[in-house]
Copies of this chain bind each other. A is one copy, B any other.
Amino acid sequence: MHVRFLSGAAAAALAAAFLPAAPAAAEEGMWTFDAFPTERVRQAYGWAPDRPWLDRVQAAAVRLTGGCSASFVSPEGLVLTNHHCVVSCVQDLSTEQNDLVAAGFTAATRGEERQCPGQQAEVVTAISDVTARVQAAIGTSTGAALARARDAAIAAIESESCTDPERERCQVVTLYGGGEYKLYRYRKYSDVRLAFAPEFQAAFFGGDPDNFNFPRYALDAAFLRVYENGRPAATPAHLRWNPRAPQPGEPTFVVGNPGSTQRLFTQGQFAMRRDTIFPVLVPLFAEYRGRLISAMAGDAERTRTGADMLFGVENSYKVYIGQWQALRDREFSGRLAAAEQDLRGRVAADPALAGQIGDPWAEVDAATATYADFYTDYLMLEANAGFRSSLFSYARALVRAAAERDKPEAERLPGYTASRLPLLEKQVTDAAPVYPWLEELSLGFWLSKTRELLGADDPRVRELLGRESPEAIAARLVGGTRLGDEAERRRLWEGGMAAIQASDDPLIRFVLATDPVSRAQLDRFRAEVDAPITAAQSRLARARFAAYGDSVYPDATFTLRISYGSVQGWTERGQDVPPVTRIGGLFERATGAPPYDLAPLWAAARDRLDQDVVFNFVSTNDIIGGNSGSPVIARDGSVIGTAFDGNIHSIGGSYGFDPRLNRTVSVSAAAVQEAMAKIYGADALLAELNRAPARRRR
């Protein structure tokens, strides 16, 4: 359940909760910490967290920049998250001779913990409202000027607010698609190391067929540790590890960073996803997936080095399929339409309000129609360029960073302002393996699909291909580039545009030559889609606040949220699905054939394991991709599990939450403890996790 921001970067939208009668349904909501619905929770559970409880939890909540969530679970920087949030790191640390993805990894001592390339951990330390300043900067501007003014204001706020870029990161977050802007200040940790990861097959038992399904038997948990100055960081604010069974009905709080929802989209935006975006995106991913599967088949080393990519692609694919099905479902889409009608009705009933906000729906429709006209161009030439090629990403980041750093801050693209560069630099210059076969596959795929979707005679396609074939270009670029070497990337990063211009690296030259074609798409998107939608959305947000007050929460933005719920199964086609599975069930489900084969260490440990320990469980918490790794927190503030998935119904949660069906899937702390003790011998980590609270708090 990785979060990916592929299909329209700035496409978050506005205020419109799912069930028109009650703007946020029971247990619905990804709430910001400064607007927790205390009364609603108290009514549901007879108790609600108070401010100190919320503050303690916020201080222990970790964001992983790779797109996941996590939490501190010891005073010495130990971080609980999902296995699938660290599998890229585990793969980066593996070699053909020593495949840690297959074998798992347990650091017996801290000295054995190993740094994860490109990974950064972040903890929110303060949130403040900067809406007035950003909106004043925007003023009455429109189009490209609006986007520029907004982004310049955001860059200035971020630069001014964080004075210690080694330890801090400042980020202005757009909420309600432009209705609010908040400054989030983070304490950041750039040295993140792997402490524990089970075998892939234990973490992902059932593989893609069981992904987003329940009952489930996956030990999708792992531990990282954050370091400072080469030593484990002190993290006095942490959650107590509580390896007890979750109890049916007990309240649970999931704290993390949901990546992206589109619940506040207008009908026009939903229609564009249904009729324009998914019909292109889903087949694109399907074909890439097919290419990947065949390229790996029967080749052990490719199977090893392509595993993380395949997981990510299949995960995204399943999400797209599910989102699309939700939008094609008549009942589901009928509820979305009814929600919009409700808001329109309330606005119409209030002439003063109606006069203020005008017709933002029509404005969004117009911008969306424009977007639909060039969506495929934008997707292939800009948003999706290189199709997951790491080398291409490096080259583009190097070329663009060099170009943007030569400009005044206020004129740069949003990803290249002073506050954003440190993480980008880390991601570009950290050492990480590159797999040429996979790079060539990705680049060749991207170029051939671009030709297919835009047409062989499109001048931009001719610009990309010249007189070569997609496959020949991919082979030439991957074969000739030196960007797999982090020293070369470091040299080009530090050398800036002079070094870039002087480089004869074929991939750098390719990106230099073709980036104008890509940037033209980005410029168009910003001026003709992002800007008018931002303008319309700030008025839509106003309408929504007027209509529903503070019962409205913003769409997910990969920033810290809290969701409340309880341990609870659901009813599927008349059958009750119980809320928990137990370790014994794993052995019953295992057929011996992939992906239903047991991890070897588990097969060997079968008799030692307590078959009754709760393995995975579901709860009514409202989460989405990006929440992966979030702690599941009990009323007493202890962590009883980590959320790693949703059930199949949860995928529609991108657009609306259905409390009868949407479920969060978590691995219990009890199962993690049982496995670490009886299978992995992770004694030192267990001791650290289970140290007596009295001692822990000294």
Interface residues of A (CB under 8 A from B): 206, 208-210, 213, 275, 278-279, 282-284, 286-295, 297, 321, 324, 328, 441, 451-452, 455-456, 467-469, 471-472, 591-596
Contact sample, A vs B, 29 pairs, CB 8 Å cutoff: A206-B456, A209-B451, A209-B456, A210-B456, A213-B455, A275-B328, A279-B282, A279-B324, A282-B282, A282-B283, A283-B283, A283-B286, A283-B321, A286-B286, A287-B289, A291-B293, A293-B294, A294-B294, A294-B295, A294-B441, A295-B297, A297-B471, A467-B592, A467-B593, A468-B591, A469-B593, A469-B594, A469-B595, A471-B594
Distance between Cα atoms of A256 and B271 in the complex (Å) = 40
- A289, closest chain B residue (CB): B287
Distance between Cα atoms of A328 and B276 in the complex (Å) = 9
User: Which 7 A-B pairs rank lowest in CB-CB distance, beginning with the nearest?
Assistant: A290-B290, A294-B294, A287-B290, A286-B286, A283-B286, A469-B593, A467-B591
Distance between Cα atoms of A471 and B595 in the complex (Å) = 11
Q: Chain B contacts of A594 at CB under 8 A?
A: 469, 471
Given contacts A213-B456, A283-B283, A286-B287, 5 further A-B contacts (CB under 8 A): A209-B451, A279-B324, A290-B292, A297-B471, A468-B593
Q: Chain B contacts of A592 at CB under 8 A?
A: 467
User: How many identical chains are in the complex?
Assistant: 2
Q: Chain B contacts of A210 at CB under 8 A?
A: 456
With known contacts A210-B456, A290-B291, A456-B206, A472–B593 Cβ distance under 8 A: yes
Distance between Cα atoms of A293 and B290 in the complex (Å) = 9
- A469, closest chain B residue (CB): B593
With known contacts A294-B291, A472-B593, A209–B452 Cβ distance under 8 A: yes
Q: Chain B contacts of A213 at CB under 8 A?
A: 455-456
Shortest beta-carbon distance from A586 to chain B in Å: 15
Q: Chain B contacts of A288 at CB under 8 A?
A: 290
Distance between Cα atoms of A288 and B472 in the complex (Å) = 23
Distance between Cα atoms of A232 and B595 in the complex (Å) = 57
Distance between Cα atoms of A292 and B592 in the complex (Å) = 28
Distance between Cα atoms of A289 and B288 in the complex (Å) = 9
Distance between Cα atoms of A235 and B471 in the complex (Å) = 48
- A325, closest chain B residue (CB): B279
The 8 Å CB contact of A452, one of B208, B292, B452, B467, is B208
Shortest beta-carbon distance from A682 to chain B in Å: 31
Whether A279 pairs with B451 at a CB distance below 8 angstroms is no
Q: Chain B contacts of A297 at CB under 8 A?
A: 295, 471
With known contacts A209-B452, A289-B287, A279–B328 Cβ distance under 8 A: yes
Most B Cβ at <10 Å: residue of A275, A278, A286, A292: A286
Shortest beta-carbon distance from A302 to chain B in Å: 10
Distance between Cα atoms of A376 and B578 in the complex (Å) = 28
Shortest beta-carbon distance from A326 to chain B in Å: 12
Distance between Cα atoms of A593 and B471 in the complex (Å) = 10
Distance between Cα atoms of A303 and B288 in the complex (Å) = 19
Q: Chain B contacts of A278 at CB under 8 A?
A: 279
Most B Cβ at <10 Å: residue of A209, A294, A441, A468: A294
Distance between Cα atoms of A47 and B593 in the complex (Å) = 70
Q: Chain B contacts of A455 at CB under 8 A?
A: 209, 213
Most B Cβ at <10 Å: residue of A283, A472, A593, A594: A283
Distance between Cα atoms of A321 and B449 in the complex (Å) = 14
Whether A284 pairs with B286 at a CB distance below 8 angstroms is yes
- A324, closest chain B residue (CB): B279
Q: Chain B contacts of A291 at CB under 8 A?
A: 290-291, 293-294
Q: Chain B contacts of A471 at CB under 8 A?
A: 297, 594
Distance between Cα atoms of A286 and B594 in the complex (Å) = 24
Shortest beta-carbon distance from A308 to chain B in Å: 18
Q: Chain B contacts of A469 at CB under 8 A?
A: 593-596
- A321, closest chain B residue (CB): B283
Whether B286 pairs with A290 at a CB distance below 8 angstroms is yes
Q: Chain B contacts of A286 at CB under 8 A?
A: 283-284, 286-287, 290
Shortest beta-carbon distance from A477 to chain B in Å: 15
